[in-house]
């Protein structure tokens, strides 16, 4: 089995599973349930989820995942200095931190029409996947 993706969060994992199911690609998620027990930042070999597919489906799976990720309209998380300082203090005091707080707006503002179009395509992809699994 070959590793094809490291989902950012459970929501992306759900969508990637839908994409692979729609393409009829067998897959296995390493740490699917165990990784959800320990929320927080993704740490390799601890709570990170990994999607693996058989060798013969590697190219097809990579293409399908990249097509889905091209539709992703989420902005990169950029935290303000106050949030960075708070997270640093939490690490020093408690040996853990909770990401979040104020975010700076990204300079790359996405055209709302393009964002709605991408969200529509993702919703349609999910709908088609659900219909395909029922039949």
Is residue 20 predicted with pLDDT exceeding 90? yes
Query: What total of structural domains would you count in the chain?
Result: 1
Which one, of 58, 62, 39, lies nearest residue 49 by Cα?
Answer: 39
Q: What was the pLDDT predicted at 25?
A: 92
22 against 101, higher pLDDT: 22
Is residue 101 predicted with pLDDT exceeding 80? no
Show the domain range for 28: 2-73
Please report whether residue 57 resides in a domain: yes
Please report whether residue 111 resides in a domain: no
Q: What was the pLDDT predicted at 81?
A: 82
Place of tokens 């930042």: 41
Is residue 114 predicted with pLDDT exceeding 80? no
Number of H helices, E strands in the chain: 5, 3
Please report whether residue 91 resides in a domain: no
The CATH number of the domain holding residue 52 is: 3.30.70
* For residues 57-82, average pLDDT: 78
Is residue 49 predicted with pLDDT exceeding 90? no
């Amino acid at each position: 089995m070959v590793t094809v993706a490291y989902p950012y969060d459970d929501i992306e994992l759900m969508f990637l599973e839908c994409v692979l199911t729609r393409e009829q690609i067998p897959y296995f998620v390493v740490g699917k349930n165990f990784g959800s027990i320990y929320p927080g930042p993704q740490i390799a070999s601890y709570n990170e989820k990994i999607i693996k597919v058989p060798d013969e489906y590697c190219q097809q799976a990579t293409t399908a995942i990249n097509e889905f990720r091209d539709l992703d309209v989420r902005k990169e998380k950029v935290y303000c200095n106050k949030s960075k300082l708070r997270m640093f203090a939490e690490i020093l005091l408690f040996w853990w931190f909770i990401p979040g707080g104020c975010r700076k707006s990204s300079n790359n503002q996405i055209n709302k029409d393009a964002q709605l179009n991408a969200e529509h395509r993702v919703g349609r992809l999910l709908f088609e996947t659900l219909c395909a699994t029922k039949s």
